[in-house]
Structure 1
Amino acid sequence: MDAIQVGVMAPDFNLQDGFGKEIRLSDYRGKQVLLSWHPFAWTGVCTDQMRALEVHFDDFAAKNTVAIGLSVDAAPGKKAWATVLCIENTPLVSDFWPQGKVALDYGVFMSNHGCSGRVNVLVDAQGIVKWVKVYALGELPDIDEVLAAL
């Protein structure tokens, strides 16, 4: 996996969350955006990763940042997962079809696994990649480290 580099323009995308809302990166210009990739919904570390984003929603907002959770899971699965986890503020979007297209654009798709890696990419208010951190598949991102990167 050769993740996107700091300093480049983040590729725009238009994906849907499980509730049918379109999420377009360029709609967030003027705010920082944390793109938080996780391999698959319904797994332990991914659950903890997305819950941490939701729990810290106000901390992100205070730093003019929107956190978005992304995976190759289909939108209906993302909706069910968000509902079960009581995630109401953090968009959990589907990069399902074409499978992993956005993950490929960001260099975080693992073709040998058919999913994205566990990666955080922080995009600044002008759309430039500001920070990138790649994690081992079983590693939970340290939310304090993520908040410090803002």
Structure 2
Amino acid sequence: MTGSSTPGGALEPGDPAPDLTLPDTHGTPVHLADLRGEAVLLVFFPFAFSGICTGELCELRDNIEDFEAAGVRLLAVSTDPVFALKAWHEQEGFGFDLLSDFWPHGAAARAYGVFDADSGHALRGSFLVDADGIVRWAVVNPRGQRRDLEAYRAALAEI
């Protein structure tokens, strides 16, 4: 798959996905390498409880069956601390894991080329990683611009 719209520095299709280990909302480490053998969609987002992020992740929650049917595990990542993500997860009832990239602050977002050092948060970057750990689709949207569900669906159709 060749579709992508990432700025310089962000991973592109064909790149190996950097490994990461981040805590989920229960503090349990999620290790990307342990998920080899299944496709994973990493969705980096700026802040829990913010308007655009809530809208985007609720849309993913409401369409989770699209990802499940494609055999893709959805993981959403922000630089928020575990406790904030846990409260947001409980409030919104997300059916997928939220991972905290709080410390070392933004290390995973940096590895994927989507950390905004000036503001200290992740940009809206999404990376579809295949079962072998290779990025197959990627998109990074500018500040304030939400990602399109139809673009996710098109990427899922090709994996």
TM-score scaled by length of structure 1? 0.95
- Given the alignment of the two structures, is residue 102 of structure 1 paired with residue 102 of structure 2, yes or no? no
AA of the residue aligned to 2:51? G
- Given the alignment of the two structures, is residue 24 of structure 1 paired with residue 31 of structure 2, yes or no? yes
- Given the alignment of the two structures, is residue 112 of structure 1 paired with residue 118 of structure 2, yes or no? yes
SS of structure 2 residue aligned to 1:148: helix
Q: CA deviation at 1:126?
A: 0.5
Q: 2-side partners of 1:132 and 1:59: how far apart?
A: 18
AA of the residue aligned to 2:147? P
AA of the residue aligned to 1:40? F
- Given the alignment of the two structures, is residue 57 of structure 1 paired with residue 56 of structure 2, yes or no? no
Which residue of the partner structure matches residue 82 of structure 1?
Answer: 89
Q: 2-side partners of 1:83 and 1:122: how far apart?
A: 25
Q: 2-side partners of 1:55 and 1:140: how far apart?
A: 16
Q: 2-side partners of 1:126 and 1:13: how far apart?
A: 15
Q: CA deviation at 1:106?
A: 0.7
Q: 2-side partners of 1:142 and 1:71: how far apart?
A: 19
Q: CA deviation at 1:146?
A: 0.6
Q: 2-side partners of 1:114 and 1:125: how far apart?
A: 30
2:49 corresponds to which of 8, 30, 42: 42
Where in structure 2 are there 5+ consecutive unaligned residues? 1-6
Q: CA deviation at 1:13?
A: 0.8
AA of the residue aligned to 1:101? A
Percent identical residues: 39
Where in structure 1 are there 5+ consecutive unaligned residues? none
| Deviates most, 49-58 or 7-16 | 49-58
SS of structure 2 residue aligned to 1:11: coil
2:97 corresponds to which of 85, 88, 91: 91
Q: CA deviation at 1:21?
A: 2.5
AA of the residue aligned to 2:87? A
On the 8 A contact 1:121/1:132 being kept in 2, the answer is yes
1:127 corresponds to which of 133, 142, 145: 133
